[in-house]
A and B are shown apart, each in its own frame.
Chain A
Amino acid sequence: MKTNTIKMAAILLASTALVAGCGKKKVEQLPPAAEGTDYGQTQPAPDAGAGQIVPGSQEDFLQQVGQFGDRILFETDRFNVDAEDQATLQRQAQWLARYPNTRITVEGHADERGTRDYNLALGERRANSAKNYLISIGVDASRIETVSYGKERPSALGSDEQAWAQNRRAVTVTVK
């Protein structure tokens, strides 16, 4: 577990370092850690040497899909998958094709500038948009779960347009 924590910290640092100069759809932070439920946690890595990433793990997924390749972002109250999102999801699908036994949860989120119930519905829509696109390009539907967190788990903590843009997201998380 200690090894795992250190790895997570390293990934966070790398994410932050690469942020400068990103376009409007880039994000700065990984989602916050879950609080004790079966929320898609980072896979516990078997005893591996420092710097090694287990193929098929969440760390491997994050590394292979590229910077922020685990998520797609949305406009206010929207849930459509645009060309940029499709490219992101195609990279995810390519990785999933290599690990056919890996299942995923797509987490749908909304920014804080919506009411609680509507945001739960909106998060569900966004997660399903990502799921439906993944299915359309060949990922088996049985491998994909969705969950909406509404506005309950912001990724960016500010109260400004930039933070809200990062929080309107659907994030793919691997499940063992």
Chain B
Amino acid sequence: MTSFSFYRKLASFLLLIVGSHSLMAQTPPPAPATDEPELVEFDTSKTRSIAVPALVAPAPADTPAGNSAALGRQIAEVISSDLRASGVFETQGPNGLRAITLPEVTAPQFDYWKGRTVEQLVQGFVRVGGDGNLTVGCYLYDVGFGNETTRLGFNVPPREWRRAAHKCADAIYAKLTGELPFFDSRIAYIAETGPKGKRVKRLAIMDSDGANHRFITNGQSTALTPRFSPNYKSILYLSYVDGNPRIYVYDIDAGRQRLITQSRNPTFAPRWSPDGQTILYSMAVAGNTDIYKISASGNGTPVKLTTSPGIDVGGSFSPDGRQIVFKSDRSGSQQIYVMNADGSNQRRISFGSGRYATPEWSPRADLIAYTRIAGDFRVGTMRPDGSGERLLTDSWQDEAPTWAPNGRVIQFFRTAKGSGKTSIWQVDLTGSNERQLPTPVDGSDPAWGPVLP
């Protein structure tokens, strides 16, 4: 097969969308989660072996992100790394695997891969187009059955090559697990440096795998508890920039921020509604903290949702935006409550031993993650009715869970006893595959955003 006919064939089945903010594959999205409320657990006893040889660069060419041949290997590395880090797969390659040829991309040598005890094979190509953009093709084969199970292609600016890799890994993960994707997403968090008594805390953002790290604030004033807006255009976070704890909404492109409310009272614990139209926050008035919501447009009136004399704080919307889970010590100790989005029907759902804090509703709606304080701090999950409580971590101080966009993985931060050093970790819903995220300095308050379009 000539290169020309190869690309003609490709063009017939790859839907290529040009644009820096949207990557679309031709493959239909994976089936949505069922209504079954029970956990569908990963079968970690049968991790599947996936081989990811370097993507072929049929006509290597230089791009602003490097030569396309090098990119072919780097993309394979990211795909391999994503899948391995999910804990569900064992991966081989690209290191240690032979280079494949262009014709092999669509006609794999199944017998060869069977001989290497590979069950699934990921192959692809990367080509530099006349417009300077990259065309990345990604194919998944079942080696045992000897057939193709997924293919998709992307057209991306060279600087966004990692997103094509994440999208490819997402499609493979979704195909093989039946879960929704989550690799092509970002994380906002607080980067920490300095001694325990004088920590410097900066707002920072990064890709879900720690790449493309960027500091947003310079550390002159303490920054805490960020949350990406659903469209990734802005970040809610707490800053002491005027000397008091106040929530700001930071516009990433413009590099500007504004207070979410002009009140002189301290505001904290910000959250977006799932549609990005409403901001939920906590505000202390004369010492008493209650939960409020306000339009994200910047010119609405705050609506007070709780009125108890206790501390009502936090708050996280259900994915349909109709309910809010929050924490209150109105019973005498910190517990988790659920209310309707207008503040009505407030009811306690946590009744286990210990105190409960930082409830966070899963984007799949089926679970609420929280911090349980009973001596040590551990991250756990329960159903929205309070049943099915499960603890996922066991350390001295694990705190502040945030959900992966597919609701199968949870990030949190861990504080070390004594030194106060912090680090960001993630764990899946079985409580296994716990691993630390790479951050350039200490990290806390992670907030996972949705899958990018």
Contacts and interface: CB of A to CB of B under 8 A. Distances in A.
A117 B268 contact: yes
A97 B313 CA distance: 37
B332 to A, nearest CB: 9
A55 B243 CA distance: 26
A37 B415 contact: no
Contacts, number: 114
Given A37-B221, A116-B399, A118-B334, A125 B240 contact: no
A158 B197 CA distance: 10
B333 interface: yes
A124 B420 contact: no
A153 interface: yes
Interface in A21-55: 32-33, 35-39
A112 interface: yes
Interface string A156-174: 0111000000000000000
Interface residues of B, number: 48
Interface in B285-309: 286-289
Interface in B332-373: 333-334, 357-358, 371, 373
Contact of B417 (A32, A79, A159): A159
Contact of A125 (B200, B311, B420): B311
Contacts of A39: 243
Overall SS of chain A's interface: loop
A118 B373 CA distance: 12
A127 B287 contact: yes
B59 to A, nearest CB: 53
A131 B269 CA distance: 24
Given A38-B242, A114-B357, 16 more contacts: A35-B198, A36-B220, A113-B373, A115-B357, A115-B399, A116-B224, A117-B268, A117-B358, A118-B314, A118-B357, A120-B284, A121-B289, A128-B287, A152-B224, A153-B197, A157-B196
14 contacts: A35-B200, A113-B373, A117-B269, A118-B314, A120-B238, A121-B282, A122-B311, A124-B284, A127-B287, A147-B244, A148-B284, A154-B197, A157-B195, A157-B196
